[in-house]
Amino acid sequence: MRRIIGVLVVLAVVSGKTTLGQETECDCEATFIQMTEKLEANYIGLRHFQQRDKGPEYEQRKTKYAVKSGTVTGENCAEFLQEFLDYFQDGHLYVIERPKFEEAKMAAIEAKIEQERVDIVELREKLKVQKASNPDDEVLGEYKDGTSEFIIVKEGKVYNAYIVSSKNESVSPGEIKASFSPAVQGFRGTYYSYAHIPRFMKGGLYKDGTLLRVEGSIWIKTDSEKKRELSMVNFEGDTDWPTVQRLDDDNVLMSIPKFSVDYKVWQQVVKDNRETLMNARNLIIDIRGNRGGNAIYFSIFDLFSDQIRQASQGHVLASEDNKAYFSRYNGKIYKQVVKDIEQRMGQIVDGPKYADGNIKRHKKSKVQNVAILTDEACMSAAESFILHAKGASSLVRTFGSPTDGVIDYTSVNAILLDSGDQRIYFGYPTSTWHKQIPDDGYNKTGIIPDVPIDVKVWDKVAFIMEYYKKAK
C-alpha cells in the first residue's frame, strides 16, 4: 500500500493591496476558538509538545491570541490564525481560505480593482527603473503562469503583481493579481483569483530565483538569466507540468515543479518520455521549488529500483475527525486504524502499516545514477519522494540544499471552520512519518543533501553533470 500524502495548499498574505475593506460575516473570535479546539483534539504534534512539558507555553500563547482575536476583522482572520499556528513550525499545519461573497460585495470588489488598474507602458518603465536601482532584488521582474503574464514591482514595502496579458477573458491588463510582503519565511499577502476573489496567501521565490510560488500556482520568472531553468518549463501546457530533456549522451534532466498535477498528465509525460528516461546513464531529477502534492511518483521507480523499500508505520492521535479521515480509505490497514481509534479515543494509536515496497527494475533501463536536486522549498510529498526513492534504490543521491523539513507529521486532513463567507479551512497532519517522531525526524533540519551545492553555484545541473563525469 502507498503512504497517504496530504496535499499542502500553500498561499500567502499580508496586506499590500488588501482585501479592499469588504464587510464579512466571519467572527474571528469564534473561529479562533473552534480552530484551537480542533487543533487540540486532532494534532498529534501538540500532544508531543505537551509530553515535553511545553503545554504551559502553548496555553499562554492561546490565551494571548484569544484576547487578540476579538479585535481581528473577518477579512484578516486567516492571516491571524496562520500566525498563531506558525508557533509549531510545521508546514502541514495551516489555514487557507476560499471566500464566497454575495453578488453585491463582489461587484464592489471588482469595481475597486478596475479603478486601480495601471498603465502597462508606465508599469514596464517602473520595472526597468527598479531593476536598475535594485539589481539584487530577485522578486522584481516578468513572470508567466501558463495562463497569464505578470510584472512584479515594489510599491512602498509591498510587492504588487499586475496582469500584463492573459488567456483568461475575465481579467484585463493592468489589474492587480497579488500583493505580498516578506515574512519570516517566504511571502504573505493577498491573492486575487481569476474571478477577482481576494484571499489570504503564502508564497516564496525558489529554484535560484526563477520559480515563484503564488497561491497554488507556479509563476516562472521569464526575464531571468537562468536559461536552463527556463528551457525546462512547459509554457504551452502549464508551468507546473513535469518535463524531460536529454542534455547529452549520458545525462537526462527531469524537472518536477509539483506533485499535485493531474495524475493523467503525470502518466502521459512519463509515457511520452519513457525511452529517453530509460536510456539515461545519469538521471537528474530537479525538484527545486516543489512544495508537495500526492504520491504520484512511484511509476518512475522501475527505472532505478534495486532494493526493497522497508515497511513503515507511524502514530495517530485517536479523535473523531481522524476517524472520519481514515474511514474514507479502503483497505485493511485503514480499517484497523479506525478500529483502534474507536477503542482508544483521545490516545495515541498505531497508524496504517505500509507493507514493503518491491518495484522491480525494468530490464531495459540503463540508468546507473539518480541525482535528486533539492532546495529549501522542497516539502511534504517532495520529501517523501526523496525518502521513498532512496529506500528503493542504492543509486540515488541527493544534491543541493536542505529541504524545508515538513515530513515528520504527514497525511493532511482539512476541516471547514465556521467562518462565514471567508470559508476558512484548517489543515493539520493526521499521522507521524514513523513511530520515532519527533526524536528521529527531519522537521528541524530538513533532509540534508548527500552532496551539498553552494548557493552561489550558477548552474547546479552542470555541477551534477561534472560530478558524475569525474566519477565515471
For residues 259 and 266, give the distance between their C-alpha atoms in angstroms, rounded to a whole number: 9
Mark whether 116 and 258 lie in a shared domain: no
Mark whether 174 and 260 lie in a shared domain: no
For residues 312 and 367, give the distance between their C-alpha atoms in angstroms, rounded to a whole number: 27
Kindly state the average pLDDT of the residues 426-442. 96
pLDDT of 7 strictly over 50: no
Mark whether 171 and 109 lie in a shared domain: yes
Mark whether 133 and 179 lie in a shared domain: yes
Residue 60 lies in a domain: no
Residue whose entry in the numeric block shows the C-alpha cell 511520452: 272
Q: Please spell the DSSP secondary structure of 169-220, one letter per residue.
A: TTS-TT-EEEEEEE-SSSEEEEEE-TT--EEEEEEEEETTTTEEEETTEEEE
Kindly state the average pLDDT of the residues 104-125. 97
Q: What residues make up the domain containing 117?
A: 103-190+203-221
pLDDT (0 to 100) of residue 145:
92
Residue 129 lies in a domain: yes
For residues 160 and 156, give the distance between their C-alpha atoms in angstroms, rounded to a whole number: 10
Cis (ω within 30 of 0) for the bond into 438?
yes
Mark whether 370 and 257 lie in a shared domain: yes
Mean pLDDT of the chain: 92
Residue 33 lies in a domain: no
For residues 353 and 401, give the distance between their C-alpha atoms in angstroms, rounded to a whole number: 31
Mark whether 151 and 255 lie in a shared domain: no
Cβ–Cβ < 8 Å for 121, 162: no
152 by Cβ neighbours in 10 Å (0-12 / 13-18 / 19+) ranks as buried
pLDDT (0 to 100) of residue 23:
55
pLDDT (0 to 100) of residue 22:
45
Q: What is the pLDDT of residues 370-390, one digit of tens each?
A: 999 999 999 999 999 999 999
Residue 261 lies in a domain: yes
Mark whether 209 and 275 lie in a shared domain: no
pLDDT of 12 strictly over 80: no
Mark whether 160 and 290 lie in a shared domain: no
Q: What is the pLDDT of residues 49-58, one digit of tens each?
A: 999 999 999 9
pLDDT category at 24 given cuts 50, 70, 90 is: low
Give the CATH number of the domain where residue 250 resides: 3.90.226.10
pLDDT of 17 strictly over 90: no
Residue whose entry in the numeric block shows the C-alpha cell 471588482: 110
- Which residues does residue 30 pair with via DSSP β-bridges, in sequence order? none
Residue 269 lies in a domain: yes
How many residues are recorded in the chain? 472
pLDDT of 8 strictly over 70: no
Q: What is the pLDDT of residues 328-373, one digit of tens each?
A: 999 999 999 999 999 999 999 999 999 888 899 999 999 999 999 9
Q: What are the two backbone dihedrals, phi and then psi, of residue 299, each rounded to the nearest 5 degrees?
A: -70, -10
pLDDT category at 184 given cuts 50, 70, 90 is: confident
pLDDT of 9 strictly over 80: no
pLDDT (0 to 100) of residue 356:
85
What is the number of structural domains in the chain? 2
pLDDT of 20 strictly over 60: no
- DSSP strands (E only) in 380-472: 396-400, 409-416, 424-432, 451-452
Q: Report percent pLDDT > 90 for the chain.
A: 87
Mark whether 134 and 261 lie in a shared domain: no
Mark whether 302 and 360 lie in a shared domain: yes
Mark whether 136 and 267 lie in a shared domain: no
Mark whether 152 and 117 lie in a shared domain: yes
Residue 50 lies in a domain: no
Chain centroid, CA 5 distance in Å: 12
pLDDT category at 235 given cuts 50, 70, 90 is: confident
For residues 9 and 408, give the distance between their C-alpha atoms in angstroms, rounded to a whole number: 17
Residue 427 lies in a domain: no
Residue 75 lies in a domain: no
The helices-and-strands tally (H runs, E runs) of the chain is 13, 19
pLDDT (0 to 100) of residue 237:
66
